[in-house]
C-alpha cells in the first residue's frame, strides 16, 4: 500500500489531493517554486520541498528534479494533478522507470489520447461516433482544401497535438481557408513543435458534454455520469454542472455507455474524461479524452458522493473497486464556477496583483476549492484560476440560487476577478432555462456586459467610499464642514456630487439634484455598514495600488476613485497614438517587427505571453517603427510602453 505521495502540482489541486491523502492516512510531499512559497500548498504537506527560482522548466516541469525529490523523501507514488506533467508521456515513463507509481493511466493511454489524430483512428476502429472530417496523413494544403470543401463550410482546423484551444481556427468560407490553415500551423508549431492538423465539420451552437470515467486496476470500467461544460470563453470552461439539462435518460445512457466502451477498448486504468460535442439535433461525437483528473471533477463528487482522488490512488495500486456500476447514482444537482483573476469587461485579460483579503462566509452552504490565502501575489507564471466555487442542492434551480448567494459571499479583495461576471451569467435567462451552448458567452456579449448602475446604487458607492476616507472626529472644529463639489469615478464613469456634510458618523450629499442621507452603523477599516431610509448597506473596501478603492456594496462591485479629478488625470499619463502598451504584466514572447519597418494599422507587432495565453499587440496606426523597448524573453509590467510608431 502507498504510504507517501509526492504531489507534482500547485494551488488548489495540490490541496485537493492532500485532503484525500489525510483522510486515508497517506503522508504527502508538496513542491513549491520560489514565487509560490507563501501559497497554502507550500506548507500543507507533511514535507514541503522548495524547487527554487527560474522558469517552469526548472520548477514544476523539472521532471528529473521532481523524481529525485520523490526518491529522497521516500514517496512511493507521484500525483500529477492536472496541467503541468499530468499528460506528459516522457514523465510518466521516467516515473515508472524510477520504480515509482504514476497516479494516472499507462504511458500508452496518455500517448494515444494526447494525439487528436491517433485517438480518432482508434475511436473509428471501436465504432465510436466522430465529428465528420479529415484526420489522415496527407498534409498538402491543396488536398486539405479539397477535403474541407467535401466536409462543407464552416470547417474547424485543429492541431493534432493541440490542447487548451491553441491552433484552432474556424473557417467560414473557401476564401478564408488558406490564411486560416497557415495561422493554425504557425500557432501549433510554436506551442507544440508539431504543425500537423486535422479538419472537422464545425458544429453550430453545440454543447460540450463529457463523461467522468474511472477504471480500476483489475479491468473494470465505471462511469460517474456526465458534466455539462458549455459555458466557455476562449474555448475554456468557466461554469460546469451536472446533470446536464440537455440529456434525457436515453441520451444519458447512450453517452455514458459509449464512454465505458472507450475505456474498455483501450484497457484504461484510473480517472479519465471523454469529451463530446452534442449537436442541436442530439447527435453526439467524440472530441477527445483527457487522461487525468479534471478541474471540474468536484461537481461529479457532489452528485455521486465518491472521492475521485481516492479512486485514482486505488486504481494506481492495481486494486479492484468494491462497487458495481449500479451502485453509482446521480443524486441532486451541482454547479461549479471558476473564479479567475481576469477582467471580463476587458476581453477576459488576466489580472495580477496582491490578494489583500479573501472574504468568505462559513454560514453559506458551498464548497470552495481555493489555492490562495490573504496576502498572496498572483504570479504571471501560472494559470489565472484562483478558486472553484461549488454548490449542491436537490435540483438545478436551487443549486443556481445557492450559487448566486455564494458568489456574494466569496470576495477576493484587492484583485479584479470574474466574480461579478459569473453572477451576470447566472442571471442570464437562457442559462437559467438550461438553453445553453458553447457560444453563449460570445453571442450574449452585449447582454452580459456590466450594466450602468441605477442612481441609488451609485449613491451607495459614493457614500461608503467617502465615509471610508474620513478621519475620526478630533474636536469640535472638525464638525464644521463646508459644502464641497466632488467628481467621483465609478468604474471609469465620472459623476458629480455636492457634499453637504461628511464625517465618520454619516454623509449628506446630492447627486443630480437628488438628496441622499446615510448614517454609519459600523466603521471598521475595510468594512463599513450604513443605513439609509431604513435600508442596511453593508460594504467591503480594498485600497488599490493607485489609490482607488475596490468596493463591494451589498451584491454589487465597482472600482471607485474619490481622488480629485486633477490627480486622476495626472496619474494616468497620456500616450500618443502610435504608442503600443503591454495590456498586462508578462513576458515578451515574440517581436515580429524591427525598428524602421513600415506597418499598417492592425498589423501584429509584438506578442506578450502571460498566464498560458498569448496577447498580440497590434499597430494602432500606420507608420514606421521608431523604437522597440524590449526584446524576446524580457519581463514586462502591465501598462508599460513596448513600442513607438511614427
Ligand atoms: P480542463 O479540461 O480540466 O479544464 P485544461 O485542459 O483546460 O483543463 O487545462 C488544464 C489545467 O492545467 C488548467 O485549467 C490550469 O488550471 C492548469 N495549469 C496551471 N498552470 C498551468 C501551466 N503552466 N501549464 C499548463 N497547465 C496549467
Ligand atoms: P482542446 O484540446 O483545446 O480542449 P477540444 O477538441 O477539446 O480542444 O475542443 C475545445 C472546445 O472547442 C470544445 O469544448 C468546443 O467548445 C469547441 N469545439 C471543438 N470541436 C468543435 C467542432 N467540431 N465544432 C464546434 N465546436 C468545437
Ligand atoms: Mg478539450
Distance CA 188, CA 163 (A): 10
Q: Which of 207, 233, 252, 292 is catalytic?
A: 292
Distance 33 CA to ligand 1 centre (A): 17
How high is the pLDDT of residue 477? 58
Pick from 162, 206, 227, 612 the residue to mutate for probing ligand 2's pocket: most ligand atoms within 8 Å of its CB.
206
* Mean per-residue pLDDT, 507-515: 95
297, containing H or E segment: helix 297-304
Longest dimension (CA), the chain: 87
**Mean pLDDT of all residues in the chain?**
93
User: Residue 96: pLDDT band by 50, 70, 90 thresholds?
Assistant: very high
Instruction: Tell me the HSE value of 308 on the side-chain side, using a 13 A CA sphere.
Output: 28
pLDDT at 481 > cutoff 80 = no
CA-nearest residue for atom 12, ligand 1, is: 83
Residue pair 522/516 in contact (Cβ under 8 Å)? The answer is: no
606-625 pLDDT, tens per residue?
A: 988 877 777 888 888 899 99
User: Residue 572: pLDDT band by 50, 70, 90 thresholds?
Assistant: low
Binding site membership of 184 for ligand 1 (Cβ less than 6 Å): no
445-476 pLDDT, tens per residue?
A: 999 998 888 999 999 999 999 999 888 876 65
How high is the pLDDT of residue 351? 87
CA-nearest residue for atom 1, ligand 2, is: 163
Per-residue cell: 227: 458534466
Residue pair 286/208 in contact (Cβ under 8 Å)? The answer is: no
Distance 509 CA to ligand 3 centre (A): 53
Per-residue cell: 275: 469529451
Lowest mean pLDDT among 79-88, 230-239, 541-550: 541-550
Ligand with an atom nearest the CA of residue 119: 2
Distance CA 143, CA 181 (A): 12
pLDDT at 323 > cutoff 80 = yes
User: What sign results for the dihedral spanned by CA atoms 602, 604, 607, 610?
Assistant: positive
Q: How many residues are given for the chain?
A: 646
Residue pair 258/274 in contact (Cβ under 8 Å)? The answer is: yes
Ligand with an atom nearest the CA of residue 164: 2
* pLDDT > 70 fraction of the chain, expressed in percent and rounded: 97
**Cis peptide bond N-terminal to 228, omega within 30:** no
Residue pair 489/545 in contact (Cβ under 8 Å)? The answer is: no
CA-nearest residue for atom 23, ligand 1, is: 382
* Mean per-residue pLDDT, 344-362: 90
How high is the pLDDT of residue 325? 98
State how beta strands 236-242 and 333-340 pair. Answer: antiparallel
Lowest mean pLDDT among 312-321, 429-438, 524-533, 617-626: 617-626
Binding site membership of 164 for ligand 1 (Cβ less than 6 Å): yes
E-assigned strands of 504-622? 506-511, 514-524, 527-532, 535-543, 549-553, 556-561, 579-581, 586-591, 598-599, 604-610, 613-618
Q: How many CB atoms lie within 10 A of CB 395?
A: 10
Binding site membership of 237 for ligand 1 (Cβ less than 6 Å): yes
Distance 328 CA to ligand 2 centre (A): 29
Distance CA 528, CA 541 (A): 8
Using the atom order of ligand 1, give the atom closest to the CA of residue 83: 12
Distance 83 CA to ligand 1 centre (A): 4
Using the atom order of ligand 2, give the atom closest to the CA of residue 438: 16
Pick from 210, 612, 613, 614 the residue to mutate for probing ligand 1's pocket: most ligand atoms within 8 Å of its CB.
612
Q: What is the dihedral of CA 20, 302, 12, 55, to 10 degrees?
A: 100
Binding site membership of 295 for ligand 1 (Cβ less than 6 Å): yes
Per-residue cell: 614: 498569448
End-to-end Cα spacing for the chain: 68
CA-nearest residue for atom 9, ligand 1, is: 83
Asked about 292 being catalytic, the answer comes back as: yes
pLDDT at 136 > cutoff 80 = yes
CA-nearest residue for atom 11, ligand 2, is: 235
Binding site membership of 154 for ligand 2 (Cβ less than 6 Å): no
Ligand with an atom nearest the CA of residue 209: 2
Binding site membership of 630 for ligand 1 (Cβ less than 6 Å): no
Q: How many CB atoms lie within 10 A of CB 640?
A: 11
603 vs 67 pLDDT, higher one = 67
Using the atom order of ligand 2, give the atom closest to the CA of residue 168: 3
pLDDT at 644 > cutoff 60 = yes
How high is the pLDDT of residue 474? 64
542-558 pLDDT, tens per residue?
A: 987 777 889 999 889 99
Using the atom order of ligand 1, give the atom closest to the CA of residue 292: 3
Binding site membership of 385 for ligand 1 (Cβ less than 6 Å): yes
User: Residue 504: pLDDT band by 50, 70, 90 thresholds?
Assistant: very high
| Residue 309 CB partners (closer than 8 Å, separation 6+) | 16, 17, 19, 20, 79, 293
Per-residue cell: 350: 488576466
* Mean per-residue pLDDT, 162-169: 86
Residue of 297, 287, 317, 268 whose CA lies nearest to 111: 268
Radius of gyration of the chain (CA): 27
Distance 207 CA to ligand 3 centre (A): 12
pLDDT at 569 > cutoff 70 = no
Within 409-481, residue ranges assigned H as helices are 419-427, 429-433, 440-443, 445-448, 455-468
CA-nearest residue for atom 5, ligand 1, is: 164
User: Residue 165: pLDDT band by 50, 70, 90 thresholds?
Assistant: confident
394-410 pLDDT, tens per residue?
A: 999 999 999 999 999 99
Residue pair 630/636 in contact (Cβ under 8 Å)? The answer is: yes
Amino acid at each position: 500500500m502507498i504510504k507517501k505521495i509526492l504531489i507534482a502540482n500547485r494551488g488548489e489541486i495540490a490541496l485537493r489531493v492532500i485532503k484525500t491523502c489525510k483522510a486515508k492516512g497517506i503522508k504527502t510531499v508538496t513542491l513549491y517554486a520560489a514565487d509560490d512559497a507563501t501559497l497554502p500548498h507550500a506548507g500543507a504537506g507533511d514535507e514541503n520541498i522548495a524547487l527554487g527560482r527560474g522558469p517552469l522548466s526548472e520548477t514544476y516541469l523539472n521532471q528529473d528534479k521532481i523524481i529525485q525529490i520523490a526518491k529522497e523523501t521516500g514517496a512511493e507514488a507521484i500525483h500529477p494533478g492536472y496541467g503541468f506533467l499530468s499528460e506528459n508521456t516522457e514523465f510518466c515513463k521516467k516515473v515508472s522507470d524510477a520504480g515509482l507509481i504514476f497516479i494516472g493511466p499507462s504511458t500508452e493511454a496518455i500517448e494515444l489520447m494526447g494525439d487528436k489524430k491517433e485517438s480518432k483512428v482508434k475511436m473509428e476502429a471501436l465504432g465510436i461516433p466522430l465529428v465528420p472530417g479529415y484526420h489522415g496523413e496527407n498534409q498538402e494544403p491543396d488536398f486539405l482544401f479539397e477535403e474541407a470543401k467535401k466536409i462543407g463550410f464552416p470547417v474547424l482546423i485543429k492541431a493534432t497535438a493541440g490542447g487548451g484551444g491553441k491552433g484552432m481556427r474556424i473557417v467560414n468560407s473557401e476564401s478564408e481557408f488558406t490564411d486560416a490553415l497557415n495561422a493554425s500551423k504557425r500557432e501549433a508549431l510554436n506551442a507544440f513543435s508539431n504543425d500537423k492538423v486535422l479538419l472537422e465539420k464545425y458544429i453550430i451552437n453545440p454543447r460540450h458534454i463529457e463523461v467522468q470515467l474511472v477504471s480500476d486496476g483489475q479491468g473494470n470500467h465505471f462511469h460517474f455520469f456526465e458534466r455539462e461544460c458549455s459555458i466557455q470563453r476562449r474555448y475554456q470552461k468557466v461554469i460546469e454542472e451536472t446533470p446536464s439539462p440537455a440529456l434525457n435518460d436515453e441520451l444519458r445512457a447512450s453517452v455514458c455507455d459509449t464512454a465505458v466502451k472507450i475505456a474498455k477498448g483501450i484497457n484504461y486504468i484510473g480517472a479519465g474524461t471523454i469529451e463530446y460535442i452534442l449537436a442541436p439535433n442530439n447527435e453526439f461525437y467524440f472530441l477527445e479524452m483527457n487522461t487525468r483528473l479534471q478541474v471540474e471533477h468536484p461537481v461529479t463528487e457532489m452528485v455521486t458522493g465518491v472521492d475521485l482522488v481516492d479512486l485514482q490512488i486505488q486504481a494506481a495500486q492495481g486494486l479492484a473497486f468494491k462497487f458495481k456500476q449500479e451502485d453509482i447514482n446521480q443524486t441532486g444537482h451541482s454547479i461549479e464556477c471558476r473564479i479567475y483573476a481576469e477582467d471580463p469587461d476587458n476581453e477576459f485579460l488576466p489580472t495580477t496583483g496582491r490578494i489583500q483579503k479573501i472574504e468568505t462566509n462559513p454560514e453559506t452552504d458551498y464548497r470552495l476549492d481555493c489555492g490562495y490565502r490573504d496576502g498572496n501575489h498572483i504570479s504571471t507564471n501560472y494559470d489565472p484560476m484562483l478558486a472553484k466555487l461549488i454548490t449542491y442542492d436537490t435540483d438545478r434551480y436551487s443549486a443556481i440560487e445557492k450559487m448566486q448567494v455564494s458568489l456574494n459571499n466569496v470576495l477576493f479583495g484587492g484583485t479584479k476577478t470574474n466574480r461579478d461576471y459569473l453572477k451576470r451569467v447566472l442571471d442570464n435567462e437562457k442559462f437559467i432555462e438550461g438553453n445553453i451552448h458553447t457560444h453563449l458567452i460570445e453571442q450574449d456579449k452585449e447582454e452580459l456586459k456590466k450594466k450602468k448602475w441605477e442612481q441609488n446604487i451609485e449613491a451607495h458607492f459614493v457614500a461608503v467610499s467617502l465615509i471610508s476616507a474620513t478621519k475620526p472626529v478630533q474636536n469640535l472644529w472638525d464638525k464644521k464642514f463646508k459644502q464641497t463639489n466632488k467628481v467621483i469615478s465609478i468604474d471609469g464613469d465620472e459623476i458629480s456630487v455636492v457634499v453637504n456634510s461628511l464625517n465618520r458618523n454619516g454623509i449628506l450629499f446630492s447627486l443630480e439634484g437628488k438628496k441622499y442621507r446615510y448614517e454609519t452603523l459600523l466603521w471598521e477599516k475595510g468594512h463599513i455598514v450604513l443605513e439609509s431610509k431604513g435600508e442596511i448597506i453593508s460594504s467591503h473596501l480594498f485600497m488599490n495600488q493607485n489609490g482607488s478603492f475596490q468596493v463591494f456594496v451589498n451584491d454589487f462591485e465597482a472600482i471607485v476613485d474619490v481622488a480629485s479629478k486633477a490627480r486622476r488625470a495626472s496619474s494616468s499619463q497620456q500616450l500618443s497614438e502610435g504608442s503600443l502598451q503591454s495590456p498586462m504584466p508578462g513576458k515578451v514572447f515574440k517581436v515580429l517587427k524591427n525598428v524602421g519597418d513600415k506597418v499598417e494599422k492592425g498589423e501584429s507587432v509584438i506578442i506578450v505571453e502571460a498566464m498560458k495565453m498569448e496577447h498580440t499587440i497590434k499597430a494602432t496606426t500606420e507608420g514606421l517603427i521608431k523604437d522597440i523597448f524590449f526584446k524576446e524573453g524580457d519581463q514586462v509590467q502591465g501598462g508599460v510602453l513596448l513600442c513607438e510608431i511614427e
